[in-house]
Amino acid sequence: MPDFDTLLENWEGESLVARRDEVGRAWIFIAIHSSRLGPAAGGTRMKSYPGPTAALHDALRLSEGMTYKFAAPNLPFGGAKAVIAVPSDLDPADRPGLLRRYGELVTQLGGRFLTGPDVGTTPEDMDIISETASSFVFCRTPGAGGAGDPGPFTALGVLAGIEAACEHVFGSPELADRRLVVQGVGDVGGALLDLLEAKGADVVFTEIDADLISRYRDERGFAFVAPEEVFAVEGDVFVPCALGGVLNAETIDRLRCRIVAGSANNQLAEPSDAERLRAAGVLYAPDFVINVGGAMAMPAMETMGWTADHAREQVRNYVRKTLLAIFNEAERFGSSTAAAAVAMAEHNLAAAGDDRR
Ligand code: PHE
């Protein structure tokens, strides 16, 4: 874990808001990485961390990923992320108040930061946040006037990305009889299992939450492996849909899949892991391209009048087309796919001008 000085020195973002919430015993960090393409948007992640520095590290890295996520398709948003670092024994009764106080902080930013759900938050939480941050919140429940759960839209894009990667590597996007190894069956991974099942894929999954394990293994009959074994499962596609940083020297060495294509943000532990994957002959679908579904669909449905059908079509087409272009570019220039994706995003940011504000 980098120390506080190193974290701030290496972050190229615009502003960082830190708020200590005494009642909820929480730290809130809102990292606004870039507003060059529009108001900075990003999810609100709520979980416990070993300490505030770890939470800050997550917020800063995730905010940069959001800048690239919106910039690659040239969507009119900048990148940001909020982390609410809560104690592991947070009393559920203290949660709504904490979310409302967080909403007040979002309102103080006056529209420079827009948010939606992420790990640890739901559309129901967005309803609560919007009590104090009304128009700055995406993905409220449909009953409260929002577009609801982004997970299925993200999952749809991930499916399109997996198919594109298979097309590139195996010459066919068909998933029947391909073996997919899914790490994490939360909001996105769970929705993805349904889609993969419908495609006739051979799915193996891992998960740490007991309720989710029982739902997908015992009730639905999916094959389960223990979390520590997931990297070594023999298969075609490794699909990381849990937390970030899972691809590092050690795990890449154990991978027995030709493709990595999943929804988690910040899958690479460090940038050089992109080269490591390339050297190992593994095709990596850059996270911020393949997982854009929710971030592309929900704001557009809520503010630009897209229908759900139109959003699904846009997400599928964008992910497929963009990944195929990135895979070809990377091959042509002998670079990693991650470098090709960042170059595409940087190109759009540069075209928008030098003034970040
Ligand atoms: N969790 C989403 C992501 O990482 C965040 C998001 C959802 C942002 C919906 C905006 C709208 O992309």
> CA 140 from chain center: how many Å?
18
Would you say 274 and 338 are in contact if contact means Cβ atoms under 8 Å apart? Answer: yes
Ligand 1 center to residue 81 CA distance, Å?
A: 9
- As a whole number of angstroms, the distance between CA 173 and CA 166 comes to 5
- As a whole number of angstroms, the distance between CA 187 and CA 351 comes to 35
Ligand 1 center to residue 80 CA distance, Å?
A: 10
Give the chain's residues under pLDDT 50.
Answer: 356-357
Q: Give the number of other CB atoms < 10 A from CB of residue 101.
A: 19
294 lines ligand 1 (CB under 6 A): yes
Q: Give the number of other CB atoms < 10 A from CB of residue 317.
A: 12
Q: What is the pLDDT of residues 207-240, one digit of tens each?
A: 999 999 999 999 999 999 999 999 999 999 999 9
Catalytic site residues? 81
Question: How far apart, in Å, are the Cα atoms of 317 and each of 10, 159, 296?
Answer: 34, 11, 12
Closest atom of ligand 1 to CA, residue 154: 12
- As a whole number of angstroms, the distance between CA 264 and CA 6 comes to 24
- As a whole number of angstroms, the distance between CA 336 and CA 339 comes to 5
> CA 69 from chain center: how many Å?
9
Closest atom of ligand 1 to CA, residue 114: 10
Q: Angle at the Cα of 129 (from 123 to 135), degrees rounded to 5?
A: 90
Closest atom of ligand 1 to CA, residue 62: 4
In 3D, which of 214, 238, 199, 265 has the Cα closest to residue 43? 265
298 lines ligand 1 (CB under 6 A): yes
Take atom 12 of ligand 1 and give the residue whose Cα is closest: 295
Ligand 1 center to residue 295 CA distance, Å?
A: 4
The per-residue pLDDT for 354 is 60
- As a whole number of angstroms, the distance between CA 336 and CA 17 comes to 34
Encoding tokens for residue 133? 């941050």
Would you say 1 and 57 are in contact if contact means Cβ atoms under 8 Å apart? Answer: yes
Instruction: List the strands of the sheet with 202-206, edge to edge.
Output: 223-224, 202-206, 179-183, 237-240, 259-260, 283-284
Question: How far apart, in Å, are the Cα atoms of 47 and each of 28, 31, 69, 97, 145?
Answer: 11, 16, 22, 16, 26
The per-residue pLDDT for 355 is 55
Question: How far apart, in Å, are the Cα atoms of 245 and each of 106, 248, 302, 303?
Answer: 28, 7, 31, 33
User: Which residue bears the tokens 């080269």?
Assistant: 275
Indicate the burial class of 16 (C-beta count within 10 angstroms; 0-12, 13-18, 19 or more).
Answer: middle
The structure's pTM equals: 0.96
SS3 of residue 98 by DSSP: helix
42 lines ligand 1 (CB under 6 A): yes
In 3D, which of 133, 37, 124 has the Cα closest to residue 82? 133
In 3D, which of 165, 157, 126, 119 has the Cα closest to residue 142? 126
**Which of 241, 298, 302, 315 has the most ligand 1 atoms within 8 A of CB, as the residue to mutate?**
298
The per-residue pLDDT for 122 is 97
